[in-house]
Structure 1
Amino acid sequence: MTAPARSLSVRARVAWAAGLAAALVVLLVAALTAITLVSNESRQRDRRVDAVAEAVGGGANPFARGRGYVATMRLDGAVLQSTPVTLPPASVGLSTEVVDGVSYRVRTRELNRPEGALLSVGIPEPPTRAVVGRLAPRIAVGGVLAVVLATLLGWLFAGRAVRPLRELITQTRTLTSDGQHTPPRVKGAAEAEELAEAITDMWSRMNSAQERTRTALDSARGFAASAAHELRTPLTAMRADLDIVRTLPLSKPELDEIVGDLIRTQRRVESTVTALGQLAAGELMRPEDRARFDVIELFDRVAQDLRRTHPEVRITVRADRSVPMTGWPDGIRLAADNLLRNAITHGGATEIELSAVPIGTPDNRRMLALRVDDNGVGLPVDERERVLQRFERGRAARQPGSGLGLALVSQQAALHGGNVVLSDSHLGGLCVTLTVDGS
């Protein structure tokens, strides 16, 4: 299969256009020149025939001087006298007459002697092609030179005009998917600059899409690796319990114990998979999904949902006014929900307090401090940094878990441009403070 023929380059198109434009201009100038020459020649010829008619009419014998002109005198339509060439009858004034194939410019005037006679005097009128033909070779040579010169200048100037495009093509070919090269920047032509900006925008979008794809792949690999690592032990334990049930005769107390162990292990697996999925979802949050919302209103919804499942826990939201911020509402809600459930499940808290306050200077309060205080067992100082990592749990935790709750909170804080700090709470337990960028 043969490759399709390339179209003409911009430079060649400009050169052709310049040559064609020059040819059209030459033709127009030639036509105007011919019209002007013919018009001037006609006016000069009229003046000559007037002068000859005046001279001939005033002479004693106008037919004796017949060189260069022809003349005919008529009286009542009859020819009284004439040169060898007899002009046809004509009215007083200028006219063009043809005799024996020769065109004459004729002036007819009245004579005093004899009274009522008409004298027609004519001079030969050369054909238009004879008038124009004298300058035709010069116009043709000048036209050819003008077309050639216009084509060459068009080629030269077009080369300078398309140089930024050539530079843009060269730089664009150096772009690779590894992001090592920056998009091209050219100067010199508005179209080339606009095209470079369009390529830069497209390159940025492609890089963003590629980065999201890479993040998704990394997240999927991390999810698979973490799931395989964390689920291997509980799944092995479940298989061992099932093998015992299948191969050994068991009493009802022993069977109940194994079934209870299976249920607890299944819940642990479910909790781990859910947390891993939430971590992966957090890594895939998109900037366009950010929204403006009220943190206090979100805390109220989280507290109401948790009161339904844990009516024995007193949950309070401390706020005198609304606290708006821009971010991912689902992410902040996930962090708040995990902190409350951790405080109840692992800290044994019976009282939890949520609050959100702007921090910074009065003129620049972009940062917010989101706090969750509880009256639980707290967390030793030497464990507070460690439990923020994945699959890490406090040694005093009361219930089994995946070790991903605080890792989820730390992830959301980082996504919102902040961090997490664990400290002692004024309620006697643990205080978790998320510092986030609310702008």
Structure 2
Amino acid sequence: MRLSTRVGLAVGCTVPLLVLASGWLLTHLVARDLHRAGDQHLRRRAAAIAPDARALLRASAGNRPRAADVRERQLFSAALDVGVRVQGPDGVFSGGPQPGPSARLPERATGPFTVRDGARSWRGLARPVRGGTLWVFAPDTADRAQVLLVRRRVVFTALLAAPASGVLAWALAGGVSAPLRRLTRRTAGLDPRTSGVRLEPERTGVTEVDELSSTLRTVLARYDEQAARTAEALDTARSFSSAAAHELRTPLMSMGTNLDVLGLPGLPDADRDEALADLRLEHARLRHLLVMLRELGRGDLVEAETFDVVDLADLADTAVAEVRRRDRAADIALDAETGLTVPGWEPGLRLLLDNLLANALAHGRDPAGVARIRVEVRRAGQEAVVVVADQGPGIPPEFRQRLFERFQRGPDSTGSGLGLTLVAQQAALHRGGVGVTDGPHGAGARFEVRLPLDGTGVPGRRDWLIGTAASGGPAAGTNRSQGFPKDAS
């Protein structure tokens, strides 16, 4: 059912009820006013004829018939337009319009009352006089034909108002809903799956329609956003499978070769042990590679709702304690500014710290083979700075530009080549950057991550697993940080 039809029916049903209710109230008020005027007239008549009624009762009690007849005529003459009934110990005297003898009068009346005599209704008033009771009566004017006529006209008006108000409301509702129909026509041709055309802002003057239009634009914008995120997720899944297939090919071929060697008859124990060691190494590398690819894809798909306030000092303390537990021979110093927080994704920031520490443990050992690592978390203006420095051989300047790209490994590295890529991804995700310079006193490597303290809580770049050229490639995240100043401390 159309909105205009609903409004027309609602008004067409409501208006007659309002007319009937108003008419009933009006008739009730008119009847009450008529009662009040009639009762006032009865009081005046009763006060005027009360002396004659007392005289009539005295004459009747003194056995003076002639005097009683005279008093009775005087009483009825003074009554004028009301009926009179005088009730005394010696009889009842009545005259004028009044209910018949069969009508039952109240035994004790303190004010005006209504009594019915067949189809007629009377207003009455009783007044005690010496020796009896004086009753005066008048027809009930509230039941007169005029009042009945008013009631009939109210009913007729209600019946006439039903269709008239319904049609008028339908016409008005049709005009008012015209902007809504225009909005319907504008949105009917929109198909967000096949077209990028969207609603343009248009003021109609009707608040509800404008709000609905704004809501539709918001819904379509959210649809576009989710569609883009779905496309990104599909691209990430395709890139994940492609990267995994490419990177797993070599270790799987190596594992296959070792399995063939193990199947040779008469294989010496030394060769068998070497093949098994290679298999264990390749198995660990495969498992680590899959974990790193999973974390890279997870970072690309993180949503803004997962961002919260993260305490970097506590996070660094936890990460360092875990590394100390795994490698008790490592010398790790932590200098963290207490209470330093940033808006971010806590699992991602923990992954950033873990990978920097793992990289320092793997490649940052001094000539004596001891990992000496310094971790610093501090505030620098409107940024939080995380520094991980080691005493290892360092990183040649010509290799630093490609250090954070996917699957970039040094000549002696047995890792997946994704650890530092994950660090760069998380820095970019938090709208920050990462850079590498020489370590303290020119020895080792010094990794520095800068994160904004007043971030918007909206993830930054998220295409590290896809790595398209349009986005500048994964290494683009390091350009911002190549100019980080070397911290001599």
Instruction: Between 173-182 and 69-78, report the one with greater CA deviation.
Output: 69-78
Shift of 1:385: 2.0
Given that 1:168 and 1:184 are in contact with CA atoms closer than 8 Å, whether structure 2 keeps it comes out as no
- Matched to 2:375, the amino acid is L
> Does 2:376 align with 1:355?
yes
Shift of 1:407: 0.5
C-alpha RMSD over aligned residues:
5.1
Deviations 1:321-368 (A, max 9, x none): 5533332333223222222222332354432211122222xxxx2x21
| Structure 1 residue aligned with 2:469 | none
Given that 2:192 and 2:220 are in contact with CA atoms closer than 8 Å, whether structure 1 keeps it comes out as no
- Matched to 1:431, the amino acid is R
Match of 1:283 among 275, 287, 300: 300
| Structure 2 residue aligned with 1:433 | 448
Query: Which aligned pairs between 1:400-415 and structure 2 lie closer than 5 A?
Result: 400-415=414-429
Match of 1:240 among 251, 257, 262: 257
TM-score, normalising length from structure 1? Answer: 0.71
1:281, 1:258 → 2: CA distance? 34
2:424, 2:126 → 1: CA distance? 115
Q: Which runs of 5+ in 1 are unaligned?
A: 1-7, 110-115
> Does 2:16 align with 1:23?
yes
| Structure 2 residue aligned with 1:295 | 312
Given that 2:85 and 2:134 are in contact with CA atoms closer than 8 Å, whether structure 1 keeps it comes out as yes
| Structure 2 residue aligned with 1:390 | 406
Query: Which aligned pairs between 1:73-222 and structure 2 lie closer than 5 A?
Result: 77=91, 128=143, 130-136=145-151, 138-156=153-171, 158-159=173-174, 174=190, 176=192, 180=196, 181=198, 215-222=232-239
- Matched to 1:429, the amino acid is G
Shift of 1:390: 0.8
Q: CA separation of 1:219/1:132 partners in 2, compared to 1, >3 Å: closer, same or farther?
A: same
Q: CA separation of 1:230/1:47 partners in 2, compared to 1, >3 Å: closer, same or farther?
A: same
Question: SS of 1:232's equivalent?
Answer: helix
Q: CA separation of 1:308/1:398 partners in 2, compared to 1, >3 Å: closer, same or farther?
A: farther
| Structure 2 residue aligned with 1:372 | 388
Question: SS of 1:389's equivalent?
Answer: coil
Match of 1:252 among 259, 269, 287: 269
| Structure 2 residue aligned with 1:3 | none
Q: CA separation of 1:244/1:182 partners in 2, compared to 1, >3 Å: closer, same or farther?
A: farther
Deviations 1:64-100 (A, max 9, x none): 9xxx999999995488x989x9976999x99989999
Given that 2:38 and 2:141 are in contact with CA atoms closer than 8 Å, whether structure 1 keeps it comes out as no
> Does 2:359 align with 1:345?
no
Given that 1:15 and 1:158 are in contact with CA atoms closer than 8 Å, whether structure 2 keeps it comes out as yes
Given that 2:20 and 2:155 are in contact with CA atoms closer than 8 Å, whether structure 1 keeps it comes out as no
Q: CA separation of 1:62/1:244 partners in 2, compared to 1, >3 Å: closer, same or farther?
A: closer
1:264, 1:370 → 2: CA distance? 32
> Does 2:344 align with 1:323?
no
Instruction: Between 265-274 and 151-160, report the one with greater CA deviation.
Output: 151-160
Q: CA separation of 1:44/1:223 partners in 2, compared to 1, >3 Å: closer, same or farther?
A: same
Given that 1:72 and 1:87 are in contact with CA atoms closer than 8 Å, whether structure 2 keeps it comes out as no
Match of 2:243 among 226, 236, 250: 226
- Structure scoring higher RCO (CA < 8 A, sep ≥ 6) equals 2
Shift of 1:424: 1.9
| Structure 1 residue aligned with 2:430 | 416
Question: SS of 1:373's equivalent?
Answer: strand
1:277, 1:96 → 2: CA distance? 95
Given that 1:38 and 1:131 are in contact with CA atoms closer than 8 Å, whether structure 2 keeps it comes out as no
2:347, 2:135 → 1: CA distance? 110
Q: Which runs of 5+ in 2 are unaligned?
A: 50-69, 455-489
Shift of 1:133: 3.9
Question: SS of 1:387's equivalent?
Answer: coil
Given that 1:88 and 1:97 are in contact with CA atoms closer than 8 Å, whether structure 2 keeps it comes out as no
> Does 2:283 align with 1:266?
yes
**Number of residue pairs matched by the alignment:** 413
Question: SS of 2:263's equivalent?
Answer: helix
Deviations 1:270-322 (A, max 9, x none): 22112112222323434444444443343333333333444444222234655
1:438, 1:320 → 2: CA distance? 14
Q: CA separation of 1:152/1:58 partners in 2, compared to 1, >3 Å: closer, same or farther?
A: farther
Instruction: Between 135-144 and 374-383, report the one with greater CA deviation.
Output: 135-144
| Structure 2 residue aligned with 1:4 | none
